[in-house]
Amino acid sequence: MLFASFDFLLFFVPVLLAFWALRSHPRARVLLLIAASYFFYMASARPPEGALSPPWTFAGLLLISTVLDYVASREIHRRDAAAASPDAAIAAQARRGRNAWLLVSLLGNLGLLGYFKYANFFIQASLDIASAVAPGAVDGMSAPVIAAILPIGISFYTFQSLSYTIDVWRQRLTPEPSFRRFALFVVFFPQLVAGPIVRASEFLPQLHRKPTVSASAVEQGLFRVFKGLIKKVVLGDFIAVYFTDIVFDTPGDFTSLECLLALYAFTLQIYADFAGYSDIAIGVAKLMGFEIPENFDRPYQARDVGEFWRRWHMTLSTWLRDYLFFPLGGSRGSNGRTYFNLWLTMFLVGMWHGASWNFVIYSNLQGGAVLFNRWNRLRERSVARAIGLWALGLPLFALAIYGFGLSVLDLPVAKAGILAGGSALIFALIVLLPQAPRTRKEDRPGLAWVVPIHIFSTFHFSTLTRVFFRAEDLDRAKAMIAKLLDFEALGVREGLFRIQGAHDWLRARAEAGQLDAGAGWFQAALGLVEYGLLILMVLGIAYHFTPRRWVDEHLQRAFCRLPGPAIGLAYALLCLLLLHLLDGPRANIYFAF
C-alpha cells in the first residue's frame, strides 16, 4: 500500500475517524493503531509474484523484533539496581546480565538485518575476492541465493527498536511497561516502512497523553501531505518513469550530455521521492495528533559533504552519530582515531542504503569526502605544508584516482587520465579556496563569495557520485561513467523531454480544428510540452535552492488561510493530476532499504 494511491485513502480515512472516535479510550485507540499498522505493513510488503513468502511472514519478523527488544529492555532494567550495589560480586553479575541481554538484542536485530539484507552480498563478494586472488580457482561456481526477498522497512524498524534497548541499557530511558504502547512505537504505520526513524523518547511520551488536535494542526498536516504528494509523484515518479529510468537502463544509447542530465534528474528524483514520503508521513501523523521528527533540511544547500549528511535523512545520520560515532570515541581521541571513527560511520551510512559493490564504492567516496573536509578545515596552512601538499599530496591523489579508473572502472587509459586530471583539478580548487563558514551565523561579508562555490561543489559531488547509487550494478555504473567521459557534442535528441500525452492531445485538437495551430499561445504551449520534463527538472532543482521559509512558512501560511472548500478543491485537482501523470503509483525508492 503506497501513500500516493487510492488504496491508502480508503485505508486512512476510516482509521482516522475511528482514532478520533476512540479519543477517550486509550487502550482501544492503541489497539486500533496496532491493527491498522500491521494491516498497512502486510498490504505494503507484497512479495514478488511466485515468491513463497506470504506477507504475514514479514509481519512475523516485525513481531519478533518487537518482542525481542521489549523483553531485553525489561531484563536489562530489572538488573539496574543490582548493578549499582555496593557488593562488588552482585554488581559484576548484574552488569554481566545487562550486557548479555544487550548482546541478545544486538545479535537478534542485526542478525536478521544482516541475513536478509547482506548475506547474499557477502557470499558473492567472497567469490569475487577469491576469483581476483586466485583466478580460475572458483570458475563455474555461482553464489547461492539465501535471502531473495528483502522484508520491506527492515532497516528502519530494526534501528528504531534497537535504539530503545540501547537507551535502556544506558539508563537514559525507563522501559515502557505496556507492551501495547511499545508495539505501537515500533509499528506506527506513517513512518514504519520508510522512516523517519523515531526514537522512543520522542514518541512514547505522546502515547501517555490524550491526543489533541487544532484547526491549525490539521491545516499544517494537510499542507505537508499536499506538498509531499507533489514532490513524490510530480518531481519524483514522473521524471523517473519518462527520463531517468530510460537513460539508466541503457546508458550506451545516449549522449554524454543526456547521461549527465539523467544524473541531475536522479538527484532531484531521489530527494523528491524520499523527502516527499517523509512529508506525507509527518502530515499523516500530525492529523492524528502525533509529532514525528523532520528528516530533511534542504540538503543540497550544504557547504560540505559532512553538512550534507547532517541535512539528508537526518534521523539516520543522528542515529549513527549517537549509537556508533560517539560510543567509538567521537572526536575525543587522537586524530587517527577520529578519522577512523568518521570513516566507519560514513561507510555504514552508505552501506545502510544497499548491499553491492556499488555501495562499497559509494560509501568510501562519501567517507573519503568527509575526512577530506575535516582535514581541509583543520590543516596547518604553513609554507612547508603547502609545498608538501602540492609536490606530493596532489600527484598521489591523481595517481590514486587514475588507478581507480583503470582497475575498478575498467576505463581506457585516456579516460582514466581525464578522470584523474579532472578530480585533481577540483581537489586543488577546493584546497585553494578559503573555508566557508560552517554556519550561517558565522557568515562574514569578506567570504560571502566563497559560500556559493562550496555549495556548488558539494551539490555536484553528491550528484556525480550517485551514479553508483542509482546504477543497477557495477557494470551499469561503469558504462554510465564511460559515457560521461566521452564528452560528445552538446545536444539532446528530439522528443527526449517531451510530455507525450499532452503533446499528442494538443496535436489532435489542432488537427480536429478545435485549436488554432498558428496561434502564438498554441506554439508556446507546444514548446512547453516539448521540453516539459527538462523545465520540470530545472524548476524542481531551483525550488530546492530557495530559502526554506518561502515554502515552510510563507506558502504554508497562504495554504492554511484558504477556506475549507478551496483546500478540498486543491486536493481534488491534485488527485486528478496524479491520475493522469502515471499508470499507477510507484514504490518509494527507500522501500528497498
Active site residues: 353
Judging by beta carbons within 10 Å of its beta carbon (0-12, 13-18, 19+), is residue 435 exposed, middle or buried? middle
Judging by beta carbons within 10 Å of its beta carbon (0-12, 13-18, 19+), is residue 125 exposed, middle or buried? middle
Q: Is 559 helix (H, G, I), strand (E, B) or coil?
A: helix
Instruction: For 178-312, list the strands marked E by DSSP.
Output: none
**Chain centre distance of CA 506:** 38
- Which residue matches cell numbers 560480586? 89
Q: With contact defined as beta carbons under 8 Å apart, do 137 and 131 qualify?
A: yes
Rounded to whole angstroms, how far apart are CA atoms 578 and 235? Answer: 11
- One-letter amino acid identity for 502? A
- Which of 110, 121, 111, 109 has the alpha carbon at shortest distance from 146? 121
Other C-beta atoms lying within 10 Å of the C-beta of residue 304: 24
Rounded to whole angstroms, how far apart are CA atoms 190 and 387? Answer: 55
- Which of 327, 328, 332, 341 has the alpha carbon at shortest distance from 169? 327
Q: For the chain, state the CA radius of gyration.
A: 26
Rounded to whole angstroms, how far apart are CA atoms 559 and 569? Answer: 12
Residues 545-554: contacts with CB within 8 Å, 24+ apart? 545/298, 545/300, 545/301, 548/297, 548/298, 551/227
For 123, residues 6+ apart whose C-beta sits below 8 A from its C-beta are: 143, 144, 146
**Cell reading at 286:** 500530525
Rounded to whole angstroms, how far apart are CA atoms 166 and 161? Answer: 9
Q: Is 260 helix (H, G, I), strand (E, B) or coil?
A: helix
Number of H helices, E strands in the chain: 28, 0
**Cell reading at 291:** 509529532
Q: Is 587 helix (H, G, I), strand (E, B) or coil?
A: coil
